[in-house]
Structure 1
Amino acid sequence: MPLRHDIRRGALLMLGATALFTVMSAIIKGVSPEIHFIETMFFRSAFALPVMVVIAARGRDWGLLRTKRFPQHIVRAFTGTMAQGCSFYALTVLPLAEQTALTYTTPLFVTLLSIPFLGEKVGIHRWSAVLVGFGGILVIALGEGAFQSGAMPDRTMAIGMVVAVIQGVWSAMTTLLVRSLSATESSATIVLWQSLLMTAFSLVALPFVWTTPSLWQFCLLVLVGLIGGVAQVMLTEAYASAQVSALGPYSYTSILWSVAIGWIVFSDAPGWSTVAGAALIVVSGLYILHRELVRSRQRRSS
C-alpha cells in the first residue's frame, strides 16, 4: 500500500476519479429518458464487479470476501443504495452542474450526524460552515425558481433538488459507516461487498422497471459500471496515498467537469445562482475539512 504522504499521487488519482465519476453521471443522464434510474443502478453495481475481480486476481488476494462484520456491510450497502438512487434520480431531472453542486452537501450532514452517531461536539466554527453550506443550497434552489408556484417543471425541479439534498444525508451515513468498517476491514473488502450487495438490492426492484436496452444503450450501461468501478478504485487509492484534508480541494473539481460537460453535451449553461450556491457549499465543505484537521492536530498534541 502506498505511503500516506504521497500527495502528488493522491491528487492525480483524485482528479482522475472525479473526472470519471462526472463522465459516468453524464452517461446516466444521457440514457435516463429511456432507461429507468433503478435499471441504471443495477448496471452500475453489477459491471463494477469485474473491476474488483481483476484487482483481486492481480494481487492474488482471494480472501477479500472474508469478514466478521457482515451485518455492518449490509447496512452500509443499504445506505449506499439509497444515496445512489437519490443521486441517479436527481440526474434525470436536474442539470448536471446543479446535481453535482448539491452532492457536495455530504460533509455538512457528516458534521451533523457525527453528533448523535459518534458523540462529537461541534463548535461554532463548524456550525457556521454548515449554515453557510445550507445557505448555498437555498441560493441554488431559489435562484433557479425551483420553489416558485406555477408550472409543473418547477415542481419537478423542486422534487429533484430535495432528493439531491436527501442524497447527501444517505451519503453522510455511508461515510460514517465506512469510517467504522475501515477500522477492521480493508478498503478493497468494503468496496467488493458494496458492489455485491448493491447489485443484489437493485436486482430485487429490476423486474418492475426493466426496459430492454438497445445495443448502444446496453454498451453505455456497461460502460457506466466499468467507469464507476475504476473510479471507485482510484478514489480508494487516492485516500490511501494522502490524507483526506489534503485531497479535499481536488475532489471539488467535479463541478468544473460537470459545468463543461453539461454545457457541451446537454447545452445546460449554469445560472448565476448555481455558481454562487456551489461556491458557498464548496467553501463550507473545505472549511469543515480544515477544522477537522485542526482538531486532529489538537488531539495529537494533547
Structure 2
Amino acid sequence: MIETTPSPAKGIALKLAAVVGFVVMQAMIKAVAPHVPPGEAVFFRSAFGIVPILVWLAVTHELSGGLRVQSPLGHVWRGVIGTTAMGLGFAALAFLPLPEATAIGYATPILVVVFAALFLGEQVRIVRISAVVMGLAGVLIVLWPQFGAGAGGTEALGAGLALAGAACAALAQIQIRRLVGSERTSAIVFWFSFTATALSLLTIPFGWVMPSPTEAALLIGAGLLGGVAQILMTSAYRFADASVVAPFDYASMLFALVIGYAVFSEIPSASTLAGSAIVIAAGVLIIWREHQLGLERRKQRKAMTPPG
C-alpha cells in the first residue's frame, strides 16, 4: 500500500532531493557535452532512466497501469516535444555556464501561462499577466549579455538553444495538462522515457561518438539519476499540494551555483543573479495565484454540491 497521508515536510524533502538529482544530472551531461552530441546524451538519459522507473512501477504495483494508455497519439506528441526540449537543453549546456542555463530554464513556467491562454483557452487575469511580464523581463536581463555588444557567437547560440528548450518544455507541460484528464501519471512518465529513447536513435546519422569509459559512466549515471529524480518529484506530490512543493524548484539555482563553481569554476554574472531573482519572484507569484484559484474552484464546487 502506498502511503498517501499528507506530510508537507516529507513532500518538501522529496522535492529538494529531486531538484538536487536533476541539477547533478545536468552537470554530468555538461561534463560530456563538448564531445558527446546532444541526441546521444538524450538516448542515455532516457534509456537508463527507464530502469528505475520500471522498478518503481513494479514496487508500487502500477506496472500494468503504467503501460496502459488511452491516447497513444497524445503520448507521441508529448514525447516529440519533450524530447526536443531535452535535446535543446543538453545542447545549450555545451555553450553556457550551468547557472545561466538553469536561469533561462526558469522561463518554462512563465511560458506555460502564455501557452495555456493561447492553446487551452485558460483565462489569465491581471496578477498572472503581471507575473508573466515580470518573468520575461527577468529572462531578458539574463539573456542580454549573451546577445549584447561584445558577446561571442557561442554564448548567443547557447542562450538561443536554452530559450528554445524552455519554450518546448512549456509546450510539453501543456500537452501533459491535456493527458492528465485521461492518463495515469505512471503512464505519462514511462511512455515519455520510452518515446524519447526511440526518437533519440534518429540522431545517429548526425554523428554519434564512442564515449570514453569516464564519459559512458557519466552518461549512464545521468540516466539512472534522472529516472530516480523523476520518481522523487512525482512522489513529492503524493504528500503535499503543488503550491507547497513547487516553489522549491527554484532551489536549483543555489545548487547550480555551487556545482558550477566547484566543478566547472563558473562564476555567475551580476545580470544572471539579478535576472534569476526576478524570474523566481514571478514564478512564485504564479504559483501563489494558481493556489488561490484552486481554492476558489474548490469552494465553488462545494457550493454547487447538493446537500445529501
What range describes the TM-score normalised by the shorter chain of this pair? Answer: over 0.9
Deviations 1:186-205 (A, max 9, x none): 21111110111100000111
1:89/1:160 contact within 8 Å kept: yes
Aligned residue for 1:125?
Answer: 127
Aligned residue for 1:83?
Answer: 85
Deviates more, 1:229-238 or 1:50-59: 50-59
Deviates more, 1:180-189 or 1:230-239: 180-189
1:4/1:242 contact within 8 Å kept: no
Aligned residue for 2:140?
Answer: 138
1:42/1:206 contact within 8 Å kept: no
Aligned residue for 1:226?
Answer: 224
| Distance (Å, rounded) in 1 between the aligned partners of 2:32 and 2:51 | 22
Residues 99-248 of structure 1 correspond to what in structure 2 (within 5 A)? 99-142=101-144, 145-150=145-150, 154-248=152-246
1:148/1:154 contact within 8 Å kept: no
| Distance (Å, rounded) in 2 between the aligned partners of 1:127 and 1:2 | 38
RMSD between superposed Cα atoms in Å: 1.4
Deviates more, 1:242-251 or 1:88-97: 242-251
TM-score by length of 2: 0.93
Deviations 1:94-146 (A, max 9, x none): 0000000111111111110111222111111111111111111121122xx21
Shift of 1:266: 0.6
Unmatched runs of 5 consecutive residues or more in structure 2: 301-308
Secondary structure of 2:152's counterpart equals helix
From the superposition, tell whether residues 123 and 61 of structure 1 become closer, same or farther in structure 2 (CA, over 3 Å): closer
Deviations 1:37-66 (A, max 9, x none): 111111000101111221233234441211
Shift of 1:230: 0.3
Aligned residue for 2:16?
Answer: 15
Shift of 1:21: 0.5
| Distance (Å, rounded) in 1 between the aligned partners of 2:91 and 2:35 | 13
Secondary structure of 2:94's counterpart equals helix
What amino acid is aligned across from residue 148 of structure 1 in structure 2? G
| Distance (Å, rounded) in 2 between the aligned partners of 1:76 and 1:29 | 25
2:247/2:287 contact within 8 Å kept: no
Secondary structure of 1:93's counterpart equals coil
Deviations 1:171-212 (A, max 9, x none): 111112212222222211111101111000001112422100
Shift of 1:4: 6.8
| Distance (Å, rounded) in 2 between the aligned partners of 1:210 and 1:7 | 44
TM-score by length of 1: 0.94
What amino acid is aligned across from residue 280 of structure 1 in structure 2? I
Deviates more, 1:182-191 or 1:248-257: 182-191
What amino acid is aligned across from residue 94 of structure 1 in structure 2? L
In the alignment of these two chains, the number of paired residues is 298
Aligned residue for 1:34?
Answer: 35
| Distance (Å, rounded) in 2 between the aligned partners of 1:163 and 1:219 | 26
1:38/1:209 contact within 8 Å kept: no
Secondary structure of 1:168's counterpart equals helix
Deviates more, 1:255-264 or 1:163-172: 163-172
Shift of 1:240: 2.4
| Distance (Å, rounded) in 1 between the aligned partners of 2:250 and 2:223 | 22
From the superposition, tell whether residues 295 and 60 of structure 1 become closer, same or farther in structure 2 (CA, over 3 Å): closer
Aligned residue for 1:97?
Answer: 99
Aligned residue for 2:45?
Answer: 44
What amino acid is aligned across from residue 148 of structure 2 in structure 1? Q
